[in-house]
Amino acid sequence: MSRKTKDELLHDHNHDGVDRRGFLKCMAWAGTGAFCVIKGGVLNSYSLSRLSEMNPADAKGELSFVQISDSHMGFNKPANPDVAATLQAAVAKINALSTPPEFLLHTGDISHLSKPEEFDTVDQILKSATAKDVFFVPGEHDVLNDDGKQYLDRYGKGAQGNGWYSFEKKGVHFIGLVNVMNLKAGGLGTLGQNQLEWLEKDVKHLKSSTPIVVFAHIPLWAVYPEWGWGTEDSAQAISYLKKFGSVTVLNGHIHQTMQKVEGNVTFHTATSTAFPQPKPGEAPSPGPMKVPAEQLRSLLGITDVNFVRGQHALGIIDANLG
Amino acid sequence: MRRSVRIANTAVIALIFFGGGAVKQSSFAARAQQKTASAAEVKIDNFSFGPAAITVPVGTTVTWTNRDDIPHTVVSTDKVFKSKVLDTDEKFSYTFDKPGEYPYFCSIHPKMTGKVVVTN
Ligand SMILES: [Cu+2]
């Protein structure tokens, strides 16, 4: 399969002022490396190779954090026989960032088979990150065989229901949602009525100027329902966030980078630290993409999110591990 | 001791002599046996069950084999049967004792659905 080089965007975004009521769909595929700045709901993205052209003030803010996803510890197939090494590489990249992130978000599929030793290995590797706090949400691979009991024991202290929660950091309201439990035959990811009710209450008291960051494993927008890449009741969840000026949704699951801006909401998916998956519909199934060893690290990565206080802006940098 | 050995030898010779016929006969026997306690296979490839729908007689043991690089499960929609997570090449079997329709899916990838129809 021929792929674009890592610094080339497949779909260049409009830099000429997009109407924020309008609909902008843009995709930066895994490994392209996109730096994205959202201002007033409008997203601008830059290729990583063009970061030097940016005003440094746009890259620095009062709060920055890093999203990693889909470490799939325990996976050992040809696509990537050493997922521990690539997670370690991700941590090294995080530790080398010029603006140290305050914390990490892990958007699920921590483990491959929900085995205790897989979680242990990830915890051990993440201990070497200079950012000490890690906030998790589960992926479907983290709740196998026990309806998520082990996940809750390990990561769900103080969380509600199957592990959802919210917290504040420097005026930004973060909401971790769980959409990998109680999945119905033929369906997509599901949040469920209890979680939706909790979410509605959780944001009710917040000022509409509060920046919101929602993170969950399966995309909260219909990326490709044919492959299960979407969440049944995500529209309901997003409807509770309509009043806010800035909403960013961070997801994993699809092992590639994609972005979409819809009104006040910017959706963003992260690459995996373990193995890449094909573009929607470009393979018989969403199984692991086997790529040459020298190409693998350019398709894996981390997402560095930098919140600029006062501008309602989130800058998102995708870095690959290459 | 000696006698029994001799008998055994004779038996071997007989088998070799009528070798072709004997083999054919035993495979017929196996097939007949399969009819009373029959078995069926479903393979999981590329995030789908193949065949997606099968019809089997009562008493059939259906065995699912995951041939993907990604784990899957086999879970009855009506909570009749439920596998543990199946990693690559792992199997799950269930014996269907009652006629009826048994829709199932992968609880990890719910877009993956299948059906077993059990007839009398
Ligand atoms: Cu599956």
User: What CATH code is carried by the domain that includes residue A194?
Assistant: 3.60.21.10
Task: Look up tokens 């789908």; give the residue.
Answer: B48
- Whose CA is closest to A64, among A316, A318, A276? A316
Asked, for residue A57, whether it belongs to a domain, the answer is no
Whole-prediction pTM: 0.79
3-state secondary structure of A208: coil
Domain count of chain A? 1
Query: Distance, CA A173 to ligand 1 centroid (Å)?
Result: 34
Asked, for residue A289, whether it belongs to a domain, the answer is yes
Query: Distance, CA B107 to ligand 1 centroid (Å)?
Result: 7
Closest CA–CA distance from residue B108 to any residue of chain A (Å): 6
Q: In whole numbers, what is the pLDDT of chain A averaged over residues?
A: 78
Query: Distance, CA B109 to ligand 1 centroid (Å)?
Result: 4
What pLDDT band is residue A61 in, cutting at 50, 70 and 90? low
Q: Among the listed ranges A12-21, A93-102, A106-115, B90-99, which one has the minimum average pLDDT value? A: A12-21
User: Cα–Cα distances in Å, from A85 out to A33, A89, A275, A281?
Assistant: 21, 6, 12, 29
Asked, for residue A194, whether it belongs to a domain, the answer is yes
**pLDDT at B97 (0 to 100):** 96
Instruction: Give helix B2-17 / helix B19-36 axis angle, nearest 10°.
Output: 90
CB nearest to A186's CB, from B85, B108, B110: B110
Query: Distance, CA A55 to ligand 1 centroid (Å)?
Result: 45
CB nearest to B71's CB, from A78, A113, A284: A113
Closest CA–CA distance from residue A109 to any residue of chain B (Å): 12
With contact defined as beta carbons under 8 Å apart, do B103 and B113 qualify?
yes
Q: Give contacts of A 126-145 with B, CB under 8 A.
A: 140-141, 144-145
Region A31-53 average pLDDT: 38
What is the per-residue pLDDT across B45-81, written as a single tens digit (0 to 9) for each?
999 999 999 999 999 999 999 999 999 999 999 999 9
Residue A293 tokens read as: 């060893």
pLDDT score of A66 more than 70: yes
**pLDDT at A42 (0 to 100):** 35
Buried b vs exposed e over A211-237: b needs ≥16 C-beta within 10 Å?
A: bbbbbbbbbbbebeeebbbbbbbbeeb
Region A274-279 average pLDDT: 86
- Looking at mean pLDDT, say which of A4-18, A83-97, A243-257, B50-64 comes out highest: B50-64
| A161 interfacial to chain B (CB closer than 8 Å) | no
Q: Among the listed ranges A36-50, A275-289, A308-322, B57-71, which one has the minimum average pLDDT value? A: A36-50
Asked, for residue A318, whether it belongs to a domain, the answer is no
- Whose CA is closest to A179, among A239, A241, A231, A106? A231
Asked, for residue A227, whether it belongs to a domain, the answer is yes
Residue B46: list chain A partners with CB under 8 A: 284-285, 287
Return d(Cα A149, Cα B108) in angstroms, integer. Answer: 16
Residue B114: list chain A partners with CB under 8 A: none
- Whose CA is closest to A42, among A248, A203, A305, A302? A248
**pLDDT at A133 (0 to 100):** 92
pLDDT score of B107 more than 50: yes
**pLDDT at A300 (0 to 100):** 74
Q: Which residues of B touch A (CB under 8 A)?
A: 46-48, 68-71, 73, 77, 84-85, 87-88, 103-105, 107-111, 113
Say which amino acid occupies B68: D
Sign of CA dihedral A188, A194, A198, A201: positive
Asked, for residue A319, whether it belongs to a domain, the answer is no
A144 with B108: Cβ contact below 8 A:
yes
In this structure, are strands A212-216 and A247-251 parallel, antiparallel, or unpaired?
parallel
Asked, for residue A268, whether it belongs to a domain, the answer is yes
What pLDDT band is residue A5 in, cutting at 50, 70 and 90? very low
**Could you tell me the fold of the domain covering B39-119?**
Immunoglobulin-like (2.60.40)
What are the residue ranges of CATH 2.60.40.420 in chain B? 39-119
Residue A228: list chain B partners with CB under 8 A: 109-111
**pLDDT at B36 (0 to 100):** 58
Phi, psi of B105 (to 5 degrees): -155, 175
| A285 interfacial to chain B (CB closer than 8 Å) | yes
Q: Give contacts of A 65-94 with B, CB under 8 A.
A: 77-79
What pLDDT band is residue A11 in, cutting at 50, 70 and 90? very low
B111 with A184: Cβ contact below 8 A:
no
| Residues 6 or more apart in contact with residue A63 via CB below 8 angstroms | A102, A169, A170, A172, A306, A307, A309
Element (H, E) at A250: strand A247-251
Q: Among the listed ranges A34-38, A87-91, B95-99, which one has the minimum average pLDDT value? A: A34-38
With contact defined as beta carbons under 8 Å apart, do A114 and A82 qualify?
no
Phi, psi of A130 (to 5 degrees): -70, -30
Percent pLDDT > 90 in chain A is: 43
pLDDT score of A7 more than 90: no
Asked, for residue A1, whether it belongs to a domain, the answer is no
What is the per-residue pLDDT across A188-237, written as a single tens digit (0 to 9) for each?
999 999 999 999 999 999 999 888 989 999 999 999 999 999 999 999 99
pLDDT score of B33 more than 50: no
Region A234-243 average pLDDT: 96
